[in-house]
Structures are given as C-alpha cells and as structure tokens.
Amino acid sequence: MKKEMIECIKENDLSPFNLYKTPVKALGESIFKTRDGKSVHNRVLGEIGDNFSFSDTSNLLNCFPFTKEIQKIKERQEFFKKIPRNINNNTLKELKNPKQTWKPKYGIVAVTDNEDTFVKLKNLDIPVKFLVNEDDVLDLQNYEIVQVVDVEQFSSLIEQLPQSVFLESIDDVYLERYLELLSGWADNFKVLENLEDEEIKKIVYEIKPLLELIGVSSREKISRSHIENSLEEINQEISNKIKDLNVSGQTLFSMLSEGKMPKEIEKIVEEVIKNKNIPENIFEFGIPVKINEQEIENFIRLQDANENTGFSEKIKRNSKALKQIPEKLGRLSALLLIYDFIAGISIFIKDNEYWPEFSEEFRIENVKNIFLEKAQAISFNLNQNEKCSILTGANSGGKTTLIEHIIQIISLTNFGFPINGQVSIPVFSEVYYFAKNKGSASKGAFETLLSQMSEIKPGKNTLILADEIEAVTEPGVAGKIIAATSEYFIGKNCFLIIATHLGYEIKKVLPKNSRIDGIEAKGLDENNELIVDHNPVLGRLANSTPELIVEKMARSGEHDYFSYLHEYLKNNGNGQNNL
C-alpha cells in the first residue's frame, strides 16, 4: 500500500505543508448511490481525518477506494493489522512550511560561447551572458562569480579572472539553488530526528550535513574600515618609537634635502606595518604612512573573489549530493504524509479490536457509533429469513442514528478497518439511503421519491435504507406504500431497513421475510429528558411517546393546559400503548 500512496502523492502534488486540502478526484465508483448516503460516508471520512496533522493526509484514504471484492478488503485488513496502536503524530505539528533562509551573498553570471548551451542556460533563473568578443570577457570583471560552461574561443582569457569557475555541464550551473531549497528545512530536521521512522531519519541524516556548506564561517576578511583604523595605530606607534630615536644632524639634513627616510626610521615603519598583518603594498611608506587607494581597491576585490570562488568550488565538489536534494526532499515530504496517515489511523482504531467478517447475513453485536461521544453499544441483525426491518420508535429515539450507524459500519468495513464491536456483513455493492424529508408533503416530492426508488439496482448485495418516507405523501396510504415497497424489494433479494412512525398500520400488512423492530422511550429522567434504550428490540413494535412529551410539558408548569392533557391521557390511556 505504501507504493500506491506515494504514487497518489506524486500524481496529485500532495504536500504536508499545503494549508488547505488539495482537491483530489475519488478513485472508483461509490457504493453509496444517493446523496444522503454519500453525506454520511463523508462524515465518516471527517471523523478519520480529525486524527491527521496535515490537511492533505486525508487524501490518502483515496488509496482505499470502494471495492466489491472480499479478498481485497481482507488484504487491507492485513495491512492495518500491522499498524502499531501507539504511534503518535503530535510531533508533526511542530513542522513549519519550509521557507528559504539562505541565498548566496555574491552575484553569479553563467557564460558560454555555444549557442545551444546559451538557450538552455536561459531557462535557469540566473543571469546568462553569451560571449561574442574579448570585450564581453572584460565586462565579466564586474561579476563576483563567473560560472563557465562550454567556452572554447575565450577560455584562456577567462582563466585569468580570479572569480571564474569552470563547470563540466549545464547541470552544474547555479548549484546554490539546491542549498537555497535545503535551507528552509533546517529547523524541520531538528524535529524529524526524533521521529520513530527509520526511512525518514535516513534521508535526514543523508542531506542534513550539506547544511554545513551554508553554516561554515569563512576566513575573516580585512575590511577597509579595519585598514583605516590600523593606519591610525601604525602612525601613532611610529611616532612613539621615533621619539626615542637619536637622529644626528647629518641624517636629518639628508632626510629633508633628499626626501629619504633614514634607515633607522625605515626599519621602524616596516616592523610596525608588518605587525599589523596587512599586506604592505596597501600602504605608501612615509611619514606619515598613507593608504594607496588603487592597491586597497584591488586587494578588497581580489579578497572577495577568492572567498566566493572558494565557496563555489566547495559547492562544485558536492554537486552530486546537491543535485539529489529535490528528489530526496520530495520523498521525505511523501513519507511524512504516509507517517501522518499511519499514525492517524493508529489513533482512530486504537480501541477497535474486532475485524469484520463476511457472510450472507448482516449482524452487529455491541458496536458503538463513532459519531457519538458517549455511545450505547448496539446490536442488530438481518438474515435471509428476515431481510427487512420496519424500525419503529419515538422521535429522537435513535431510528435515524441507527440507520446512519449502519452506513458508518459499511464504510469502515470497506476500508478494511477494525470495528469496536463484532460485525458479520455482506459486501454490499449498492447502498441506497433516503433520508428524512425535511420539507412538506407534496406531489412533486412523492413522485421524486418513487422515481429514485425505481432506479435501484436490486440484488442480494443491495441494501436499502429509508427514514420516514411517509412524510412525502398522505398518512392514509403511506403505510401501504411502505409495505408494498418492502415486499417488492424483498422479492428482489435486497436487504431493507425502513424507519417509520406507521408501525401499527404496516403491522396489519407486514410482508413475508420482514419484521417490526422497536426503539422505545421508557420514561423521563430528572431533567425531563426522554429515557431511551437505543438498542432496538427485534420483533417488537415500539410504544409511541406522545404521552411522555405531554408529561414533560406538564412538569414544566408553564400552562395548566399541559397538566390537563397529562391527566386525561393518564386516566383514559393512550390507544397505541396497548398495541
């Protein structure tokens, strides 16, 4: 799976440093054939994605597209079984988007007298110069580094430039760009060294030493200001030493008449200048000592050229390793996404011990809903003799939650993930979920629903989930339509779960191979909230709860009307309570 994930990362240009999730086209066809089903599946993806550190990591779930093959799901299960349950990805949150922190402090020009090479050099983001005559070579003195590629006619002239660096190929031009790229990772390497992943560490250890090329401090240069300060010290020191010197009248006369320094003074000047470790040719010997402007300009320019070419030569010697930086950083980025994916899945499945099995029946035992913070463990089943559940119960009792819980289990099973309870399930190829209609009943809504149901591709691997579809038509006929719909699709060998408030009506015309299940409210707690056992009672019609709602409102004491209704229902009974 690692190979497939790396290919996905490359194909979609995914990065651990993308601020927002990169849009990626889903692979394969979804088994969820309605918008409502896909919406629940997307919520499952969201729950998984909450465990990742990077926005793009959740795109790797795309490497596990929907499949109808049991063997492929089992292969995925084997992959996830190998994931340790104690991987932590919090360290990844310390990583920062690499921003280049280094640039060479010298200007570079690449030169050639070959036209084909010139065209190729133009594609690099550096100044390029095509040499036509000797004047072009003379102009190169103004550049700090001259990188020479494919030069024949002017080679001997360029060799005389101290800032020239001869390269063997275009690939060696401006290798500094790789150090620029690497400089942005310096802080991240400190984080990654503590990561428990051998391949990531290996890449870090391979390329981190190249940062030393940036960090090596060059030999301290002699600046003009340093020379000028030294000149003051030189003249002061010479003056002090001359004071202690006994000079004869004849020597002084010769010095004044011939403009020559006596040998005693000349020796003092030479010794003082020599002690300053500054090239002597920079100074004009005399009393006082002066700076030779032409010499100091040549010295500083040559000094810079030697330093820059020295650094450029170091880069040249490391060219092979530098050229590998983009590829290795790309690999490192991909591995970080995969590490985050593995760690996030490790967190997501850490409490899940059971691996779904595959059978002709749908059975879940003590499975908790990942959408709920304090979920009750639920058990439920359908089989060949009972292929349809007419699910009854109070509003807010959990009918919709159970349906969406089943979609959730199907999603996780298809991914190959373990579940927090025991699951035995067919590999559904088609799942149709028709959620509760939130609008009013209308002819258009009813016709739309029937049209959607007519497009269902029925079969033994088809599951139909419907939530209060009676809302789109008149109550009197809705129960019969639900019963007829169930009977039709049972006959087509489909599995069905239909949540409804019309259990009493459907019970009278209950189709073969179906049953009525109930999620019941058992009363009110001290906070006047419904006490509901969300675990459906199989084969039992749930009691309705209007009387509990009335009791709740009566307890509020807001109006004596509520109290009157409550007493009336208590004394006269609620017809449906005795169903």
Residue 463, beta-bridge partner list: 431, 495
- Under the banding of pLDDT at 50, 70 and 90, the label for residue 276 is confident
Q: Is the pLDDT of residue 256 over 60?
A: no
Structure confidence at residue 443 (pLDDT): 59
Model confidence over 85-98: pLDDT tens digits?
888 888 899 999 99
Domain-wise residue ranges, the chain: 2-83+355-537, 91-222+278-348, 546-578
Quick one: average pLDDT of 213-224? 62
> Three-state DSSP class for 536?
strand
Model confidence over 439-478: pLDDT tens digits?
555 557 888 888 888 999 998 899 999 998 887 777 678 8
Closest CA to 274 of 311, 237, 327: 237
Residue 148, beta-bridge partner list: 111, 166
For helices 325-348 and 176-183, the axis angle rounded to 10 degrees is 20
- Under the banding of pLDDT at 50, 70 and 90, the label for residue 219 is very low
Closest CA to 110 of 128, 91, 136: 128
Cβ burial, residue 341 (10 Å; 0-12/13-18/19+) = buried
Q: Is the pLDDT of residue 577 over 60?
A: no
Residue keyed to tokens 């100044």: 127
Question: Looking at 65-69, 192-196, 505-509, 558-562, which range is the least confident one?
Answer: 558-562
Give me the count of residues in the chain: 579
Model confidence over 110-142: pLDDT tens digits?
999 999 999 999 887 788 999 999 888 888 888
Which one has a higher pLDDT value, 336 or 476?
336
Structure confidence at residue 311 (pLDDT): 67
Cα–Cα distance for residue pair 335/394, rounded to 1 Å: 50
Percent of the chain with pLDDT over 90: 43
Cα–Cα distance for residue pair 404/36, rounded to 1 Å: 10
Q: Is the pLDDT of residue 318 over 60?
A: yes
- Under the banding of pLDDT at 50, 70 and 90, the label for residue 299 is low
Which one has a higher pLDDT value, 314 or 250?
314
Residue 291, beta-bridge partner list: 283
Fold exhibited by the domain 2-83+355-537:
Rossmann fold (3.40.50)
**Greatest mean pLDDT among 73-77, 210-214, 313-317, 499-503:** 73-77
Q: What end-to-end distance do the CA atoms of the chain give, in Å? A: 55
Residue keyed to tokens 């629903």: 449
Cα–Cα distance for residue pair 404/381, rounded to 1 Å: 15
Read off the tokens for 433: 């979920």
Cα–Cα distance for residue pair 293/305, rounded to 1 Å: 18
Alpha helices in 510-559 (DSSP H): 546-556
Is there a contact between 124 and 174 (Cβ–Cβ < 8 Å)? yes
| pTM given for the model | 0.76
Q: Is the pLDDT of residue 222 over 50?
A: yes
